Structure formats: structure tokens, C-alpha cells
Amino acid sequence: MSAKSSQPTLMRFFSSKKKPEATDTGRVSSEKEPKVSKESNKRSRSSSRSRSRSRSSSKSPERKLEEPEKKNRPSSSSPKQKKSKTLLEVDKEIEKHKKESEIEEAKKLLALEQEIETTSANTSKVSTNDKSFMYSSLSSIFDELEQESGRLKNIACACQFFHEVLDFTPATDTDTKIRDLTMVTYLMVNRLGPDYVPGLELGLGETLLLKALAQSTGRELPQLRKEYHVEGDIGVVAQKSRSKQRVMFKPKRLSVLEVWKGLNEIAKSEGTNSQSKKIGVINKMLTACEGTEAKFLMRSLEGKLRINFGEKSIIVALSKAIVEWQLQQQKKAITTELIVKAEEQFKEAFCQLPNYEILIKIALQEGILHMVEHSGLSPGIPLKPMLAKPTKSVSEIFDTLEGKRFTCEYKYDGERAQLHLSEDGKMHVYSRNSENMTERYPDLIPVVNELKAQNPNIKTLILDCECVAWDNETKKILPFQILSTRKRKDVQEKDIKVKVCLFAFDILYYNGESLIHKPLAERRECLYHNLKHIEGKFTFATKMDTDNVEQITKFLDQSVHDACEGLMIKTLDGKESYYEPSKRSRNWLKLKKDYLEGVGDSLDLVVVGGYIGKGKRTGWYGGFLLASYNQDTGDYETVCKIGTGFSEELLQKLHDILKPTQIEKAKPSYVYDSSNSNASPDVWFEPTILFEVKVADLTTSPVYKCGITYFGDGEKGISLRFPRFIQIRSDKSPEDATSSDQIAEMYSSQANLQ
């Protein structure tokens, strides 16, 4: 999924195997009760950019993705050919080589770290205000990460910085280390806390930020607005404005703690005077800023840090720094194997417990090499959901799951929902990306109370479900588009018009016990035994256990008839059927009726540009430029232009949505061919909405830049042939878009089948 240490291995081995990777989660559902069966700019990454100077030093030769030689595709009617390996065996081989790649990367990081000088060697790290870490040290590392484009070099730089934070206080002062490391980690990922905690969002608008900047610097608002439209970066405008400003008395320097408290105060400020309060807090921090501090403070406030350093890379750097620091304290040798083990421990713990404060505390108090045994699922904290890989035919299911017992479940056209019941009796609902949706679904609270009334023994649980729009009169499922019309905030149960039904397909935690390391067959038995059907409110995914091709085909047709998207196919027994948080596994496959031909799955892509409509589309946008998301760099890489599948009513709606997000020029994070005028849209947009797109197949392109780093020549990327709009993905953020890595893997798989 990401272009990190595992990606070169993935690309190398998938270049000769089947199975594209996708972005949509597996969903399951039904209205029936289950019956257990017996059966170029930065845009183009051109060499002219100063940031590209180190790309070659950090890019492994393995990263190059060769265009596979096309082979004759066997017809669907031809006899099934004997395979030397199942696809699950191929996955195991990939995992083995991934491990080898991680060890090799750890060696390179150790060498790089020795070359890097301490980022703030010439700067005092202690703030005179509160004896905490200075914000200038953090802004310096941000500036270095922004200028450097090599991933390994950036990890090494960030690791060195985390070392400084750990060394800042005495070894015995664990509490302060936990506090400081937690603050700088969240500021680096540009958040104030876990995704599931509401009320910590920043993302302030340009109007408020420009007003605050005008007040703190004494400059005229129209001039600042003009500079902002030229620069396209509120942080750069702030830095230039502060550098020109003269003051009689030099203010005290900012500490990380002061910035942390200030940002939290702004995020939690609400009410009639909230805007003036926010401006007051911003002014106080801005007047104390020096150098690059103003740039990154304003970017943090805007919610767009732009340091080209993804969260997965941050976790690598953080885990490496902690294990090295602990080994040094214990006077033990630092080995690549222990560095890789620490990274694995932190990643696995994070997937189950995505809270940096808790995890850093566990890592420092219990030892990072023992994190997993001291962490685990906790009701009220959403784990990262397990994901499915797409499949294009029933026969491919048997090829993939050869020799395994499996089940088929309905895949619903709804919203993935993780339902939690805590010991205090409180119910929480979380989305697939850990957003707290409890306020959006107050009508689920009485449903949970009824489940508890049916079984008083229920104390705590975590369910994996699909929340689906439901018609109580016809007793039928309604499309996702109906569900998306529900209000997202300030929902009162009495005002709800679109009713929902929960379709549970997995139980992950029950009465104090984590079940993710139990086979699916056992988890399903626990689910059916402890929870009961509630008409129109709560039920289970319709399923069928069979290994008969004809029965699966009929079941697929029945799922579509019952208003579902298709089927989920899941391994039932053994370790292969364990629930693997955050992992997209071949042990879960999704088979959609619409995608039995072509790529095999839809793509969720970010709208970054628009084309002025002509003819019947005059007055609207007639087409759109779409991009994938690069999880390593935070860039949006152009992948296709789309103009098919839109009604006039939808084009009007999209114009109303996108017009306010229009910007003067491409953002620095947009990777496109700036040398080709035909590659630029008529207008650019802020990355705000996603289109779900169906595509015939994938091809290379000199114009589009998706996955450009994988071909090694820096010239061509991957584009989509015959893209067709399906729907707006209102349940996903731009960062949840299909990744460039996924599209590169899909291209590799597809090309080898041709």
C-alpha cells in the first residue's frame, strides 16, 4: 500500500502474479437471519527542483517497476491450468522478502543517521518560559523535511530529532519524556490527538488566518490577501511578514508546550466570541515566532503542514529512535533485527490502539520490544479495520483459497461501522477511518440497549458492521446515496428521516476478551450466540458456506437482487482467518457483480482540477482532473481526466460544491506535467472530495504522474482508460483515496494477465 520498505518487494513479486489491490473496505450484509450451513513542478518531480537533489540517494534500485511483457490471456472457456503456487503462497513469499527488505532498509538508516548532524545543534532546546522543548527545534526539523525529498533521509532526520527529545530530560523523568514525545509526534502528523476524539480539529479558514496575521503584524489585509493568492501558502506569507516586522521588545521564545496549549485552546473554542478568541491566541503565538516558526505555525492552524512526510514514515522514525535510546540506556548493541522488531511492535500495537500518548507510554515504561503484549483492544478506542482484496471471477476465488474452507457473505452498499460498548455502558460508533460517528447515529443507542436487554450478560463488546439505509415499510435496503443524505452533526433522533439497520459480520471483543486471534468460525459462533436479531434495526450478514461454483454464482446474483454490491469471501479456519487490523488480505476477498470484467475494483480518487463545460455543460465544470494519494509524501499524483457518468443535476451540484474550493494555481503537493499545457485543467481545486470511479484498465502515460517513482525514468506514470463516474465518496477524506502504490500494484497485476 505504501511506497516504503515493503513496496519494492511487493512491486517485484506482483509483477508476475494475479490480483490487483483496491481501496474499498469489505462490507457484508443482508436482511435475512443467518443459517449455519453444513456446506511536473514538484508537480512532475523534475530535476530542476532543489528538493529532488537527494531522491536518487534514497531510492532503491528495486523500486523500479518494469513494464511486464504482455502474454496471451487464456480464454475463460479454456481448461483450468495447474498452478505451481496458490496466491496465498505467493503472499507468504512476499512477506518473507518484505522482511528481508526491512532489514536492508534498517541498515541503510543506521548508516544515514551517522551522517546526519543534529538538526538543532546550534540552537538552545530549552524554552525560558516553561523549561520545555523549544518550538524552533520542531520548526527546524519541519523545514528540513520539507526541503528533503528522499524518504530514507527524512526518516533518519526525524529519528535524530526524536533522539533529541528523548535526551532532553533526565533518563529517570519518564513522564516528561512521554509528554514531550507525544506532543511533537502529534504536531508532526498535524493533529492534536487521536482521530476518534471529537473537538480537536483545526483546519482554520484563510479569512480568519489572514485577519490574525494582519493584526499581529500591522499589515493591511488586502495586501496580505494578494500575497497569499500569489504564494498559495499562508505559511510563507506569515514568515515573510514576520521577517519584515520590527518590535521594540523581543518577546519570549515559543516552547512546544505553549504551541500545543494554544492550538488546543483554538480547537476547543466555540460560541459567539470564538473567532475573536482564536485570533487573540494566534496573535500571541505569532508575535513570539522567529525564523520558520511562523510558517509552520500557520500551516498547522490551516491543517496543511506540507512537510512531505507521511504518518507511516513517522512511525518508522519514532520506533527506531525509541528502541535505539532504550538499547543505549541498557548498554546493549543496536542491531538491525531489533530495529525491525521495534517497528513491527509499534505498527501492530498502533493498528489495535491508535493513540500515540498511550502507545508512547507503553513503549517507554514497558519497553518498545514488548509493546504488543502490553497493549490490545480497548472498547472506546477504534482499531484499524481489516480490508479485503478484489477478485474478478468465481474461479479466481478457488485459485486463491485453494484447500481452505471459506464462507460467502453479502457485501452491503452502506457505511462501515465499528460499534463499541464500554464498561461504563456508553455506546460509540466509529467509521472505517476511526472518525467518531456516535453523534451522527443517536438512533443506534436504543438498539444497543435492546441488545443488552436481550442478553444481560453483555458487558463490553466491539462489533464490525455495515450501517445501511433501511425502508421500514418495504423491509428493504436503500442505496448508499440515501444514507449519505443524513446529517453529520447535531442530529436529533426525533428529526431523523432516513432509518438505518446494522448488519453485523464480525465480533472482535467480548466481555474483556480480544477475539481477533481466534478463527472466524469461532468469532461468528460467538456473534450469533450472544446477539439476537432485531427487526429492521440489527441483524447479521447473510452468508453461505459452500465450495460449489454454481452455488456461489447464484448467491452473487441473489445479493445483487437484494440491493447489495456483491459478495465477501472469507477464510473460516486457522491463523489465516484471524482478524488482521489495517491489513488488506487475500483471506478476505470481495466479488462485485459490476466488476467481473476489467480491473476488478473501483478506485476512489481526489478531484484536484476542473475543465470549463461547453455546449450543454456550459456554466458548469464539464470534466474533472483526478489524482491518487501518495502516502509517503502526502502528494496528489494526477491519474486521469473524467467526464463520463454525470447527469446535469449532478454537474450543477458539483459546481456548487467545488466552486468555493477553487484556487489560483496548483498546490505544491500536486504532481502533474507542468511542461504540457494540455495536462493542466482550466481551474484548480483544494483537495476536498473523492469520486468513486470504474475503469476498463490501466496504462502508462507520459502526461499523468500516478506512481511515477516506480518506473525509475521519472517520465511516465499510470493512467486510467475509459474512467466512468460512479458516486461521490462522502464517507472518505482525501487521505483515504486509493494510493499510488495500490494503483501501481494493480497495473503490475493486470499487465501480467494480458
For the annotated catalytic residues, the residue numbers are 411
Burial zone of 325 (CB within 10 Å; 0-12 exposed, 13-18 middle, 19+ buried): buried
The answer to whether residues 593 and 390 touch, using CB atoms and an 8 Å cutoff, is no
Written as nine digits, the cell of 589 is 476477498
Written as nine digits, the cell of 557 is 446474483
- Of 570, 458, 395, give the one whose Cα is nearest residue 26: 570
| Helix 221-231 × helix 234-244 angle, to 10° | 130
- Of 311, 259, 365, give the one whose Cα is nearest residue 633: 311
Residue at grid coordinates 505555525: 297
Half-sphere exposure of 377 (CA within 13 A, CB side): 28
Buried-exposed string 225-247: b where 16+ CB fall within 10 A, e elsewhere:
bebbeebebbbbbbbbbbeeeee
List, in order, residues 6 or more apart from 462 with CB less than 8 Å away: 377, 379, 383, 418, 419, 420, 421, 507, 508, 509
DSSP per-residue codes, 146-210 = HH---HHHHHHHHHHHHHHHHHHS-TT-HHHHHHHHHHHHHHHTT-SS-TTSTT------HHHHH
Residue at grid coordinates 446477539: 531
Helix (H/G/I), strand (E/B), else coil: 417: strand
Give the H or E element holding residue 591: strand 584-592
- CA torsion sign for 140, 142, 146, 151 is positive
The answer to whether residues 382 and 420 touch, using CB atoms and an 8 Å cutoff, is yes
Written as nine digits, the cell of 90 is 505467493
Angle at 454 between CA 452 and CA 456, to 5 degrees: 55
Could you tell me which residues are beta bridge partners of residue 126?
A: 133
Written as nine digits, the cell of 339 is 530495529
- Of 664, 685, 536, give the one whose Cα is nearest residue 610: 685
Could you tell me which residues are beta bridge partners of residue 612?
A: 621
The answer to whether residues 301 and 282 touch, using CB atoms and an 8 Å cutoff, is yes
Count CB atoms within 10 A of the CB of residue 492. Answer: 9
Length of the chain as a residue count: 754
Written as nine digits, the cell of 500 is 438505518
Phi, psi of 579, rounded to the nearest 5 degrees: -80, 120
Q: How far apart are alpha carbons 516 and 404 in whole angstroms?
A: 19
Amino acid at 268: K
Written as nine digits, the cell of 5 is 520498505
Could you tell me which residues are beta bridge partners of residue 718?
A: 700, 706
Could you tell me which residues are beta bridge partners of residue 222?
A: none
Through-space distance between the first and last CA atoms of the chain, rounded to whole angstroms: 23
